[in-house]
Amino acid sequence: MYGTMRTDHIALLKQKQDFVEKNKRAAEIERELNELRKSRATESSQLTDEAARLRRQLADAERTKAEELAALKAQLTATNAAIEELSQSKGAEVENIVKQYNADRAKAEQEREAKAAEMERLRAELERFRADSARQTKVQKWLLLCVANETVGDG
């Protein structure tokens, strides 16, 4: 009888030790999960800030483009008016003005194309950011599921 009680007592001590170890592991996993959540929250906040910065940058670029385009249109209108005025006269002066007009127009077109390329680059950067953000969200969910499954499997 003493031998049976001793065996039972040892088995209970072993079960208690296993239970304590599982509780420690669960607490450790919970701590790691909380750290992961804090880390993801920080990353999410940083990504949100970055997205807001990119949106502001895109809006600024669009506003600047619109302002510059309006200025270029005004300049073009003024140049057209000057050409119309000078078209009354003949000779080398008109030819120089036409050359200047064409050069201004080509420059304005190049500037417009450069601004359009910058806008496309900013849009592409914003889309890459959105894709990265979505990918990080998926990874975060996957990690949380893995940690949750490990916790459930140990319990």
pLDDT tens digits, one per residue of 80-113: 888 777 666 666 676 787 889 899 899 989 988 9
For the stretch 112-123, pLDDT in tens is 898 888 889 888
pLDDT at 139 (0 to 100): 83
pLDDT at 154 (0 to 100): 59
pTM: 0.38
- State the Cα angle at 130 between 124 and 136, rounded to 5°: 135
Answer for the pair 115, 83: CB distance below 8 angstroms, yes or no: no
* Among the listed residues 67, 47, 63, the one whose alpha carbon sits nearest the alpha carbon of residue 134: 47
- Residue type (1 letter), 82: A
d(CA 35, CA 114): 45
At 38, is the pLDDT very low, low, confident or very high (cuts 50, 70, 90)? very high
